[in-house]
Structure formats: C-alpha cells, structure tokens
Amino acid sequence: MPLHSFIRNDKTIIAPNASLRRVINRHTKDSLLNVIHKWLQDPITRSKLIALYEDEDKLNDTNDTNIQQLVERLLFHYEKLSSSGSKKKIVDKVFLEDWKDGLNYKQVAQLDMKYYHDHSSLKHWKALKLCWEDGMTQEKRISKDFRASFNTFDTTLTIFQSSFEKNWWIRISIHDGIPPNVLPISTNIIYVIYFTNSEHLLCSNIKREHKEFIMQGLLKTFVCNEIEEWDLKGKYVDSLEKLLLHRQSQGTYSRYRLNQVDDNPLLLPSKKLKKDDTQKNNDKSEAMLDDDDTTLLTKRDATVDDNFGPNEQPSLDVVEIKLSFPLNNDQLNNSIPLSATVLFEGTNVIEGLKKMITAGIAEPPLPAYLVDLHSNGKNYIEVDENNVVIG
C-alpha cells in the first residue's frame, strides 16, 4: 500500500488528544499492526527512537543493518502484545511510548485511509463520471501532482493518495480555521476512489461550501473537461464498482464475466443447486408440497434465474422509480396523465426483488426497468408511459 503525500508540511505533528487516540483505537489489532509496520519502515513516520538511532548510525558511517534489527525488535514486541489478546496495550505503546509526542499528517492519513478502506460502508458514496475530449490518451489524462491541482485555491489542506489493490484512494483534508496541529472535523475530510483505467469516481459526502472547490480540483487532477454527477449512490463500494464498470455483464451475463459457462457451448446450461440448498429443499419442503406446488416453485426459480442470473446481485440500498401512466376516463373519452414515485429500500433491493418472485409476492413477467436494475447503474429511474426508461 504505497502512500504518497502531496503537501509540504506532512511532518507537522498532531498533538496527542482524545480524538487522536480514537483514530488509533478504532482499528482492529491486525489492521493496527499493518499500519505500524509501515510506520517503522518509513523514516518520515518511524518513532523518534529509531530516527535518533539512524542519525547516530550515519555519524558512525555504518550500514542500515542495526536499524533494521531495531525495527524487527519493535515489530516483534508489537506482535507479542497482539498475541496476548489486548489491543489496549498496543494502543498505549503507540500513544504513550513510541509516538508520545503525537502523529504527523501522513500517519493520520494512513490510519484514516486504511480504516475506511476496510469499513467503506460507513461512508455514503456518490458516483461521478469524468468526461474527456476525444483523442486524449490515458497517460495524459491524470495529473502527476495532486496537490498542484488544488494549490491554486486559497485553502489550507492536505492531500494523500494511496493504491489499494487496483484502485486509487485520495484523501482531501481541509484545515481552514483551525491550527495546523489539530485534527479537522470529519465533514472537512473528503475521500475519492478512482477506478483505474475507467471514467468513474466515487466521492464521499462534500459540504456545500467545499463542493465547487473540490470539483475544480478534480477537474485539474484528471485533466478532464467536465465531471458529471451520476444518478448512483450507496454504501457498498464493491457493488457500486460492479454497477459502474460491468453494466453490460450483470444478470444472466454475469456467468460469462465470472467464467461459469460450460466448456462445450453447444450444451444447454444446467442449474445445479448447492448441496446445502438441496438438503434444505428435500428435508423441509419436499415432503410438505404436492406436485402442483413443486411445479410452481420450480417455475419461480427458473424465472429468477432467467431474469437475474445465478449469481448474487450487486447491493443497491435505495432505488427510486418515477412512473408516468395515463388514467383512462370513459365518460370523457380521453386519458388523464398521472405520475407516481415508488421507493425501494433495503440492504440489497435487487436480491429483495428475487425473493419477492420466489415467495409469489411479485408475479412475472416483471417490467424491463425492474429486471434491468443491475445494468442501469442508477438509483433514480424515470419511466415513460410505455414502460421505457428515460435517459
């Protein structure tokens, strides 16, 4: 997880306080050990004990072997504390011993980005689309210096960029109106996820007074002409990524993306129930159902598979559908245009629709705008009188 700082004062120390301890304490032991390991390997973030030893080592004109041994000794001590089962002892050693003077900006950014990468559903994410001119190559699209992109604005901020797996995470921390050695409030910290080799971003909530500034900075960073706000938002980053990047390979087509097709394309695909599902059907249901009921359930399962495919659907926690339809008036021999809005909410709306079909609550065939929720890539859908999605 290489972390790059794009500020000049990333060594500024955030003074020890209760807020800083909470930033450390919210991590799991494994997560905290992962971050501490990186701190001890980095001269900017390693504790003063090693920094002092390093200075003495340079004066003696020796190699880095002794420093590495000291790093390994400290890591061994932290791992021993972890194996004892007490996270508090690890936090106390960080907060009261090795970094008792406080943490610098880079350390705080590492803690924050690691935490929200592991708990991304704690943020509410909004999708953005980057719009470039035709002919612009991928290499020319992205600025090498994130800070320079924001530096033209009269705002004190820190920016860190980190690579988690294949995506870029960017943390923008706005420090206006507070001393440089104090943590900003959480609403002044914005997170941006860029899906590499794509035109899509996810952005956490932005305060209204910061929005224009952040958008202008992102325009300069990605060297694009425009940033469109996409009608897609939610808590689950992995699902939002699938809905943005794999819109054409969801539902029944997901089996091709996930390489679940038969080796022989001429053979008809067969649906195989998992062992647990088979046992559940045989032990609890089959003996209680007559032939008609069994046929009905089989038909519903086939409908679900035909419409949504065999794989779990991406998680959309909110879907809003605006419908337009005519109300026929026989006496006046005309129709009155009406509109209605239907709101679906839950941990996974699309999976909920599948269960409604299986339970017999939703009768097939479903309208296309419901079947294609996984491919529309939007929370808000407007449907015309012919049940066709607008836009």
Q: Where are the alpha helices (DSSP H) in the chain?
A: 18-25, 29-41, 48-59, 65-83, 87-92, 105-118, 138-141, 146-150, 208-221, 237-245, 254-257, 275-280, 291-308, 349-358, 368-371, 373-376
Residue 219 has pLDDT above 80, yes or no: yes
Mean pLDDT of 328-345: 77
pLDDT of res. 308: 83
CA angle 118/121/127 to nearest 5° reads: 110
Q: Domain map of the chain by residue range?
A: 17-100, 121-244
Specify the pTM: 0.77
| Domain 121-244: assigned CATH number | 3.60.90
Provide CB contacts within 8 A for 372, sequence distance 6+: 251, 389
Is 259 or 135 the better-scoring residue by pLDDT?
Answer: 259
- What is the Rg, in whole angstroms, of the alpha carbon atoms belonging to the chain? 27
Question: What is the number of H-type helices and E-type strands within the chain?
Answer: 16, 12
Whether the bond into 365 is cis, omega within 30 of 0: yes
Residue 198 phi, psi (nearest 5): -140, 180
388 backbone φψ class: left, alpha, beta (φ>0; ψ -120 to 50) = beta
pLDDT of res. 310: 78
What is the token pair recorded at 309? 């495919």
Burial environment of residue 358 by CB neighbours within 10 A (0 to 12, 13 to 18, 19 or more): middle
pLDDT of res. 200: 92
Q: Which segment of 103-117, 308-322, 326-340, 370-384 scores lowest on mean pLDDT?
A: 326-340
pLDDT of res. 63: 52
Say how far apart CA 302 and CA 287 lie, in whole Å. Answer: 21
Residue 326 pLDDT level (bands cut at 50, 70, 90): confident
Residue 45 has pLDDT above 70, yes or no: yes
Say how far apart CA 383 and CA 117 lie, in whole Å. Answer: 36
